[in-house]
């Protein structure tokens, strides 16, 4: 058992910067939680307060039901992996991994140390490097050693602060998959900090999205994608970013329509039912549609938008089309390359006229004043 509970946690630094405001979160035993948000939003500070590396200004942190505010990091039964591996250059991989075990009192036997280090090395696939020094390892291998050093301690909670951000893109993707695998092998509670929304989406059971020291939303990856709590979350999760339009939401009979300066779009599917169940009346909204939920239309109609192509980013499996409407509004549309003929692809150049539309079930509705999702 290793649940983690934060209640009204606050951090004010000496320079009066409030890095974290009133943070409340229950993390279940064996859950993988990701803190994500732009630089400076308070992710690391929160993680460091859980680790005991930063004093808690107000509120409580509990691990397994025990308040740990006044416990030293070493007494909290946590393991932490940092961005800059922090390996000892003069020690072998084996000794780097054995290091925290050698500090244990009462002393741990050499047999037990050997057993634990070789086990962790096996799981991480670094057995053949155990006698090497860190400088003879690649970035990815060093990060594995750093993870191994945290693993050998049998900690209740595994804390990771941007562990992959020093790696190049290819290695980062590979290590991300390895962390997912690691999780199958070491069933403990994980708290992972990243600024990268892809890492957050792929790793987390739940994601905590933060901005300016405040939690914006806590939900599963699918939950934050399908029903972002506000405009910030909607823009942060998903790439390229969601498109936004000023619009009026109109109720006609039992149907809803989003009316923008570019056309009138019927709300369909679950979203229509939710609006109705909430008894939402005619009102102003900010309409959100993700680039992957927009499609190219054959011709101009009431529910298609006439655009001019400005930039065509060829991503291989898809195109990211940067378009501008007649009123100067910029829109991004993601189009799977396979849906286009070679002729059509050749036409996707600067100045090309295109019509785009989107499905009514893919719309998101936000309050223009509060920026909150009106369906939550």
CB 72, CB 52: distance < 8 Å? yes
Q: How far is the CB of 39 from ligand ADP (least distance, A)?
A: 4
Rounded to whole angstroms, how far apart are CA atoms 192 and 87? 20
Q: Does 52 bind ligand ADP (CB under 6 A)?
A: no
CA 304 to chain centre: 32
> Is-cis flag, bond preceding 69, omega within 30?
no
Please select the residue that binds ligand ADP; options are 2, 44, 164, 363, rule is CB under 6 A. 44
Q: Which of 23, 43, 141, 215 binds ligand ADP (CB under 6 A)?
A: 43
- Residues numbered 95-124 forming contacts with ligand ADP, rule: CB under 6 A: none
Q: Which is nearer to ligand ADP, 45 or 357 (CB)?
A: 45
**Residues 82, 80: Cα–Cα separation, whole Å:** 6
Q: Is 209 in the site for ligand ADP (CB under 6 A)?
A: no
Stretch that binds ligand ADP, among 33-41, 76-84, 120-128, 285-293 (CB under 6 A): 33-41
Nearer to ligand ADP (CB atom), residue 53 or residue 91 = 53
Based on CB atoms, which residue is closest to ligand ADP, 209 or 319? 209
- Told to check if 163 binds ligand ADP by CB under 6 A, we report no
**Contact between 319 and ligand ADP per CB under 6 A:** no
Q: Beta strands 243-252 and 283-289: pairing type? A: antiparallel
Which residues are CB-neighbours of 64 under 8 A, at least 6 positions away? 1, 2, 3, 156
Closest to ligand ADP by CB, 21 or 345 = 21
216 touching ligand ADP, by CB under 6 A? no
Interaction of residue 206 with ligand ADP, rule CB under 6 A? no
Question: Which candidate, 109, 187, 202, places its Cα nearest to that of 151?
Answer: 187
**Given 1, 8, 13, 282, the residue binding ligand ADP (CB under 6 A):** 13
CA distance 367 to 374: 6
Q: Which residue has the tokens 């990771």?
A: 160
- In the complex, the smallest distance separating the C-beta of residue 47 from ligand ADP, rounded to whole angstroms, is 8
Asked if residue 78 lies in contact with residue 62, where contact means CB atoms within 8 angstroms, the answer is no
- Surface-to-core class of residue 69, CB atoms within 10 Å of its CB (0-12 exposed, 13-18 middle, 19+ buried): middle
**Positions that interact with ligand ADP (CB under 6 A):** 13, 15, 17, 19, 37, 39-45
């Amino acid at each position: 058992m290793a649940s983690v509970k934060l209640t009204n946690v606050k951090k004010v630094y000496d320079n009066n910067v409030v890095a974290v405001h009133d943070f409340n979160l229950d993390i279940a035993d064996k859950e993988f939680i990701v803190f994500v948000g732009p630089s400076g939003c308070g992710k690391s500070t929160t993680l460091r307060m859980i680790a005991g590396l930063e004093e808690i200004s107000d509120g409580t942190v509990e691990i397994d039901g025990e308040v740990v505010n006044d416990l030293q990091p070493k007494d909290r039964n946590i393991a932490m992996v940092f961005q800059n591996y922090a390996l000892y250059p003069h020690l072998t991989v084996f000794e780097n991994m054995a290091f925290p075990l050698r500090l244990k009192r009462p002393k741990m036997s050499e047999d037990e140390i050997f057993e634990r280090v070789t086990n962790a090395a096996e799981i991480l696939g670094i057995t053949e490097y155990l006698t090497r020094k860190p400088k003879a390892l690649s970035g990815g291998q060093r990060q594995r050693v750093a993870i191994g050093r945290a693993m050998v301690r049998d900690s209740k909670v595994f804390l990771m602060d941007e562990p992959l951000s020093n790696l190049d893109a290819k290695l980062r993707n590979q290590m991300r998959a390895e962390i997912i695998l690691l999780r199958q092998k070491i069933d403990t509670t994980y708290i992972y900090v990243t600024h990268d929304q892809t890492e957050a989406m792929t790793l987390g059971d739940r994601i905590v999205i933060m901005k300016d020291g405040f939690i914006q939303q806590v939900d599963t990856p699918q939950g934050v994608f399908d029903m972002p709590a506000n405009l910030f979350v909607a823009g942060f999760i998903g790439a390229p970013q969601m498109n936004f339009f000023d619009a009026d939401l109109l109720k006609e009979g039992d149907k809803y329509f989003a009316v923008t300066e570019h056309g009138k779009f019927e709300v369909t599917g679950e979203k229509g039912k939710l609006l109705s169940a909430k008894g939402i009346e005619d009102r102003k909204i900010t309409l959100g549609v993700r680039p992957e939920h927009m499609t190219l239309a054959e011709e101009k109609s009431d529910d298609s938008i006439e655009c001019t192509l400005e930039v065509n980013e060829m991503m291989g499996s898809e195109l990211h089309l940067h378009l501008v409407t007649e009123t100067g509004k910029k829109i991004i549309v993601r189009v799977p390359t396979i849906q286009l003929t070679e002729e059509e692809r050749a036409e996707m150049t600067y100045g090309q006229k295109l019509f785009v539309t989107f499905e009514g079930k893919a719309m998101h509705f936000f309050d223009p004043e509060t920026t909150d999702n009106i369906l939550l």
